[in-house]
Amino acid sequence: MKIGFLQQHNTADTRDNILRLAEGVADLARRGAELIVLQELHNSLYFCQVESVDNFDLAEPIPGPSTNMFGELARDYGVVIVTSLFERRAPGLYHNTAVVIERDGTIAGKYRKMHIPDDPAYYEKFYFTPGDLGFKPVETSVGRLGVMVCWDQWYPEAARLMALQGAEILIYPTAIGYESSDAPEEQQRQRRAWQTVQRGHAVANGLPVVAVNRVGHEPDPSGHTGGIQFWGTSFVAGPQGEIFYEASENEEESIVVDIDMRHSEQVRRWWPFLRDRRIDEYGGITRRFIDAPL
């Protein structure tokens, strides 16, 4: 399968962001991409750097304007598109939602971000209600997609549950970057840890992983911090954690990567982790913390 992704720098001009995304999708499709993955909250700046009720105006219903627009692109070019939207579910109820658009323009399924961070410059708990759709792959014409969003990518339980329900690939739209006060060596440790944990999901589950991050600097509207320098480094890894492609730390990129989806089954035959799981001994995993021996 040929997978395309856009690593984009966003600006305050939402209309221009969307126009560039549409042009990028069309270009990737013309270059042979069958599945196109976009970064987290790709229509706008990463607004979670501050807590402002005015930012809720960025949210939209699903179906809505963005799913209609990306649906037209999917239908015109015969591609499956993974989008990432600020969902207005009801007044006062909002989600960070990935929507998968089928090649005929219909909505194949959606995933609401389950793990919601709350850190300086990442005040997502102010905006997003935790997801309630579970970790369920989305069936599409190109395969069963295990789509999750950003902070979800640090949790092996989430990747495992997607794999146990038949996901054929793990996909993570992302918005993550450097804190300006961190030393350069600490910034690099964080970036590599981010990639390493996801490559671990690939190995542990015998599945390819696609992580698409935004890139470039976005200022803090409050001026309390130096803003976020998104670290790019979007990548595609194989089922043994091998890197098929790694994007730049500071440049926009539009990439098509060809993956042999059949290879996952062979890897799972060599390394039968699912066979050897001790499901009779994992009860403690559902507890927050184990204060005393089970």
Residue 199, SS3?
Answer: helix
Q: Which residues are catalytic?
A: 40, 113, 150
d(CA 6, CA 255): 7
What span, in angstroms and rounded, lies between the C-alpha atoms of 221 and 133? 32
284 in helix, strand or coil? helix
Name the token pair of 241.
């954690």
246, with CB counted inside 10 A (0-12, 13-18, 19+), is: middle
Q: Is 36 helix (H, G, I), strand (E, B) or coil?
A: strand
Residue 54: exposed, middle, or buried by beta-carbon count in 10 A (0-12, 13-18, 19+)? Answer: exposed
Angle at 58 (CA atoms; ends 174, 179), nearest 5 degrees: 40
Tell me the C-alpha distance between 1 and 261, whole Å. 7
